[in-house]
Structures are given as C-alpha cells and as structure tokens.
C-alpha cells in the first residue's frame, strides 16, 4: 500500500538516526528542493531522542567532552530539515503493505521508500557473565554510565592486592582509544587491554600500525595482553584462555567491553537477504532484490568486485548520501548511481586517538604521526560535523 495515492509527494521513512540515517535525511532534503520534481516527505524513527557522535564516546571517560558536546536533539534536527521525527522502537516491517510497525504506535507508518539504518549492537558471543558484568560505551548512555562507575572507584579498595584494575576487552579501534583515555585520566589505576588475536588492531591489515600503537600505549603505562580469549567473567575475575588451552586469571575492579558488533533484534526478525546477519545490498545500496528499500551504515553488507565496505562512520555517511541520491533518481526515473566504498575492509583508514591529545592517522597502509596534527584533525572533523545540529 503506497502512502501517497495522488502521487503529489513521496514518503521516505528512515529507520535509525545515527550517522547513516542523519545523512540520508539531510541529503534528501537538500536535493529534493530542486531535483526531485515532487515533494519528499521525510519521517525519521529512532528509540533515542538524541543523536550522539559515537566516535567521541571514549573521551566521555576522561572528561574531555560532555554529553552535551557530542549529542543533539533529534526533534530539533528534524524540524530544521522539515522532517517528522518519531521517538519509538521499530518492531516489524510489512514489506508487502509498505508499512513500519512501532512498539507504541497504534497506526503503522506508511512509506514509498524505506531506508534501514539501525546499526548494530554490542556482541558478547555467549561468554558466561560477560554481558551482565560489563560496561559498554557503544552508546552515549553507556559511556556516561561507565564514567559514573569509574568515578565511584575508590583508591585502596581494589579487588586485587595491587592498584585498581580496569580491564578493557577488545583491542580494536574503540578498545585502543578507551585504553588511551583511561591511562591518561586514571593514573591511580592499572589499565589492561585484552585481545584474543595475536596483536592489537587486528582489523588493520598492516602490522606496522599495531606495533606502533602498542609501543605508544605501553610507554604510557597500558598493559597489553594479546592471544588471550575471554572464557568467563566472574564477579571480580576474568578467566582467559591462551595457547594450548592454558588458563589465566585477571582480577578486575571494572570491566569495559568493546569486542565485537552484532546485528540488532530488528534485523534478526526481518526476512531479508543477509550475510552473517547483516542486510545484503546491491551496488546501488538497495536491499538485494528490492527496489524501494535501502540499507546503509553498520547494518548493511556491501561487497562488490571483492571489495567490502567497512563498518565505520565514514562509510555510513557516504552510503547515506548515495542512498538519498538514488531515491531521488528513482523518483525521477533516472539512472542510479553505483556506490564506490573508500574506507574498506581490505584498505581501512582511521584517525586513532591514543590519549594525551595525540592520535595516529592510518591511510593507504601507512601510519602518519605528525606531532599534534592527528588529534587536532580528529577534533576538527568532530566539531564541523556537530555544527549541522547547532545552526
């Protein structure tokens, strides 16, 4: 059932208001004013009321940023771009009737075009005790709660015989940044970064970046434990398994989990083509086999000619922009634009904060460490992005 029987306007519903969803809505409104020929009615749906600049969440822990610095009201943003915002959780989608069903809404939300941009959730891999006993920073709310728990730690009340121990599980980009912020802001604590792979930053194909970051973090006091998988999390102790099944026990006072991302509950319910739970999209970012449903950001699996788009902010924004372009082109009957990923699984790039207002830039398989520049560039990108919500 189309939402507009008179064809005077086109309804686009965007599920999820992270980087990908916000970019879709922004680009749709910008382009629809002059290029679509029809009015575009935009509806944004998210269970949160605020956008948060997730990449800056590690700095919540050190107090360098506040929640107000890196978040924005979604109602205000939607109003600014002449869109409707619905604060609710999506529970199902009827693709044949072209309707979105929300938890508290009595009437389904109709659409002509749908964009799924709900991201992913923290993965705990079924490890006993991990979810119940861990703090997470993949959301702003989680980062704030983690900061509060850190602030409650009392020197001298450690669960071990030494300094307070903060265990960070997962040494990908987020785990590395968390460790860097913690060792800077908590000089009274022992910071342990645990990774099951043989080196940190395992998603980066060049080992040089891992070696460089390892040295920097260790020089600043971070203990790095690689080749150790979490087997169980107890009240005050993490059971780790290493080579040949050897077990290690790591006492901790607070545990921060940054390892892994999984598809959320909504994706699990939707009967769509998927790869390892992520929605498979075609070269134009439409859900494979569908012409009116697009997927962008972490919840989308894009691979073409052996090149796979990475699950990162840059790709979420770029995918959001091209999805909006292709919706407009579909409405006009024009040829669609093929998506070309840049920050890929095979060739990732990132600015990795290491604490102490320092960062390393990784691009084209190389690490660049111009003194002070990397961190300033990262903050410039953050501030420039957040300006779109302040105008």
Q: What structural domains and CATH numbers belong to the chain?
A: 9-121+262-332 (3.50.50.60), 124-259 (3.50.50.60)
Are the C-beta atoms of residues 328 and 30 closer than 8 Å to each other?
Answer: no
Question: How far is 29 from 22, CA to CA, in rounded Å?
Answer: 11
Question: How far is 292 from 341, CA to CA, in rounded Å?
Answer: 21
User: Residue 275's beta-bridge partner residues?
Assistant: 278
CB atoms within 10 A of CB 34: 7
Are the C-beta atoms of residues 282 and 272 closer than 8 Å to each other?
Answer: no
Q: Tell me which residue of 166, 185, 173 sits closest to 236, measured CA to CA.
A: 166
- For 297: left if phi > 0, alpha if psi spans -120 to 50, otherwise beta; the answer is left
Residue ranges in the chain whose pLDDT is less than 50: 5
User: Residue 39's beta-bridge partner residues?
Assistant: 9
Helix H or strand E encompassing 353: strand 350-355
- For 301: left if phi > 0, alpha if psi spans -120 to 50, otherwise beta; the answer is beta
Question: How far is 313 from 324, CA to CA, in rounded Å?
Answer: 17
Burial 184-205 (b: 16+ CB within 10 A, else e): bbbeebbbbbbbbbebbbbebe
Please name the residues in contact with 211: beta carbons below 8 A apart, sequence gap of 6 or more. 199
Q: Global pTM?
A: 0.94
Question: How far is 149 from 167, CA to CA, in rounded Å?
Answer: 13
CA 369 to chain centre: 25
Question: How far is 174 from 170, CA to CA, in rounded Å?
Answer: 8
Local structure of residue 184 (DSSP, 8 states):
H
- For 353: left if phi > 0, alpha if psi spans -120 to 50, otherwise beta; the answer is beta
Question: How far is 249 from 241, CA to CA, in rounded Å?
Answer: 9
Q: Tell me which residue of 338, 343, 256 sits closest to 298, measured CA to CA.
A: 343
Residue 74 has what pLDDT?
98
Residue 179 has what pLDDT?
98
Question: How far is 58 from 310, CA to CA, in rounded Å?
Answer: 20
């Amino acid at each position: 059932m189309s939402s507009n029987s008179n064809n005077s306007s086109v309804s686009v519903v965007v599920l999820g208001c992270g980087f990908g969803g916000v970019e879709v809505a922004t680009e749709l409104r910008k382009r629809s004013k002059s290029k679509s020929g029809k009015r575009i009615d935009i509806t944004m749906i998210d269970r949160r009321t605020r956008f948060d600049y997730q990449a800056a969440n590690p700095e919540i822990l050190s107090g360098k940023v506040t929640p107000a610095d890196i978040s924005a009201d979604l109602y205000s943003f939607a109003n600014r771009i002449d869109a409707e915002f619905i604060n609710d959780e999506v529970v199902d989608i009827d693709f044949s009737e072209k309707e979105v069903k929300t938890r508290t809404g009595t009437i389904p939300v109709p659409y002509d075009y749908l964009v799924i941009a709900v991201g992913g959730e923290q993965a705990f891999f079924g490890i006993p005790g991990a979810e119940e006993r861990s703090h997470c920073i993949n959301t702003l709310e989680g980062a704030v709660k983690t900061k509060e728990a850190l602030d409650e730690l009392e020197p001298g009340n450690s669960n071990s015989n030494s300094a307070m121990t903060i265990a960070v599980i997962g040494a990908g980009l987020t785990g590395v940044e968390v460790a860097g912020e913690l060792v800077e802001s908590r000089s009274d604590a022992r910071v342990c970064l645990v990774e099951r792979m043989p080196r940190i930053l395992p998603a980066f194909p060049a080992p040089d970046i891992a070696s460089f970051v390892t040295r920097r973090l260790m020089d600043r006091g971070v203990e790095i434990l690689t080749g150790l998988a979490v087997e169980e999390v107890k009240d005050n102790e993490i059971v780790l398994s290493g080579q040949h099944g050897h077990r290690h026990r790591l006492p901790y006072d607070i545990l921060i989990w940054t390892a892994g991302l999984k598809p959320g509950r909504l994706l699990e319910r939707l009967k769509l083509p998927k790869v390892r739970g992520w929605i498979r999209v075609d070269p134009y970012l439409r859900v494979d086999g569908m012409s009116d449903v697009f997927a962008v950001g972490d919840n989308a699996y894009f691979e073409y000619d052996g090149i796979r788009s990475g699950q990162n902010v840059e790709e979420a924004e770029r995918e959001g922009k091209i999805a909006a372009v292709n919706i407009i082109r579909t409405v006009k009957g024009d040829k669609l634009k093929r998506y070309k990923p840049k920050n890929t699984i095979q060739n990732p790039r990132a600015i990795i904060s290491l604490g102490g207002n320092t960062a390393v830039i990784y691009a084209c398989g190389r690490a660049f460490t111009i003194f002070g520049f990397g961190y300033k560039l990262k903050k410039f990108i953050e501030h420039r992005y957040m300006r779109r919500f302040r105008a």
